[in-house]
Copies of this chain bind each other. A is one copy, B any other.
Amino acid sequence: MYTMDDNCTVYKTMDFISKKWTLLILLELFKGGKRKKRYSEIKDKMEDITPKILSQRLKELEKEGLITRRVDASQFPVKTEYSLTESGRDFIPIISQMKIWALKWKPHKDLCESVDCKNCDL
């Protein structure tokens, strides 16, 4: 008998990963390999995200250990750079798995494969 009392590992994972924009941020950081990306760079790539949500998501991801934040205060304006940690990179295959699952079982629907997601690298 289970109770949804937040002890479930998978649920906890789902919980932060399934928030809006989180995946897209992870993918954006994944594109470009190990290169660090700046706050404004991420923001520019994700047209419609608001600064509030972006900074919230980045904090969550950092707290969960999937990304790192590093402030470069040597120049001005200060740059903040984000990149995937090993754990973050290790999460990417799970996203791939989901895409593979969807392509296998939902081929009748519009899938990003055929729309505009060729740059998502999965």
Question: CB within 8 Å of B: which residues of A?
Answer: 1-4, 7-15, 17-18, 20-21, 23-24, 27-28, 44-49, 65, 87, 90-91, 93-95, 97-99, 101-106, 109-113, 115-117, 119-120, 122
Contacts and interface: CB of A to CB of B under 8 A. Distances in A.
B4 A21 contact: yes
Given A20-B4, A46-B1, A94 B98 contact: yes
Q: Which 8 residue pairs of A and B lie closest in terms of their CB atoms, listed nearest first?
A: A18-B18, A87-B105, A9-B102, A9-B111, A7-B115, A9-B112, A8-B112, A14-B18
B98 A10 contact: yes
A97 to B, nearest CB: 5
A111 B2 CA distance: 14
